């Protein structure tokens, strides 16, 4: 009978120190890229909503469409997968600490919102502006980046502070690891 995988394993394989560091660098770069793209989208959305120039509105919304269509989802999925690999391949675990669990669900929610809310809103605004119409609803190009930016800043803060302690599962696993195992039979 084989022992169950210990903490910090992906399918029974624990990430080596160089692999863990490489994945951590990838995760931090992808997360920072996602944050930067969101700040850029917010700046373009503010420009589209506050400028009086139709050309500036069109240029802003077209740039937002370019970011949303080509960059946001790949960076979001890279952030999500690298975070999963890190959580499953290190002792932090996915459901051992509340901050990791919170980050996972927020990352999943913001990735889903990017795919099904932010991108369609930007695409509708770009289609309207390209057809010579005014910006249909400024909220479509502002609210997505505002909500995303708020979530990413919150996730960054909890990544640094690591609040709230372990989950119930994490406490149970920690207690089980501290308990002494059954005594080995005496050898003569």
Reference 114, options 156, 79, 86, 138; nearest CA is 79
User: What sign has the CA pseudo-torsion 148, 154, 158, 160?
Assistant: positive
Given 3-state DSSP classes, what are the helix, strand and coil percentages for the chain, each rounded to the nearest 5?
A: 75, 5, 25
pLDDT tens digits for range 94-118: 889 999 999 999 999 999 999 999 9
- pLDDT confidence tier of residue 188, bands split at 50, 70 and 90: low
User: What sign has the CA pseudo-torsion 6, 8, 13, 16?
Assistant: negative
**Mean pLDDT, range 34-48, rounded to an integer:** 96
Strand locations in the chain, DSSP E? 9-10, 13-14
pLDDT tens digits for range 112-141: 999 999 999 999 999 999 999 988 887 878
The reported pTM is: 0.85
């Amino acid at each position: 009978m084989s022992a169950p995988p210990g903490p910090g394993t992906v399918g029974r394989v624990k990430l080596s120190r160089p692999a863990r560091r490489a994945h951590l660098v990838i995760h931090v770069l992808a997360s920072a890229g996602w944050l930067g793209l969101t700040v850029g989208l917010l700046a373009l959305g503010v420009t589209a909503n506050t400028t009086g120039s139709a050309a500036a509105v069109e240029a802003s919304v077209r740039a937002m469409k370019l970011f949303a269509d080509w960059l946001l989802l790949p960076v979001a999925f890279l952030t999500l997968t690298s975070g999963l690999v890190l959580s499953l391949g290190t002792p932090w675990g996915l459901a051992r600490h509340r901050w990791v669990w919170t980050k996972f669900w927020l990352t999943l929610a913001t990735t889903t919102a990017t795919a099904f809310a932010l991108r369609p809103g930007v695409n509708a605004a770009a289609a309207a502006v390209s057809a010579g119409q005014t910006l249909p609803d400024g909220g479509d190009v502002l609210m997505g980046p505002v909500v995303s930016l708020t979530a990413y800043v919150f996730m960054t803060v909890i990544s640094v502070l690591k609040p709230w302690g372990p989950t119930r599962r994490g406490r149970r696993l920690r207690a089980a690891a501290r308990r002494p195992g059954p005594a080995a039979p005496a050898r003569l």
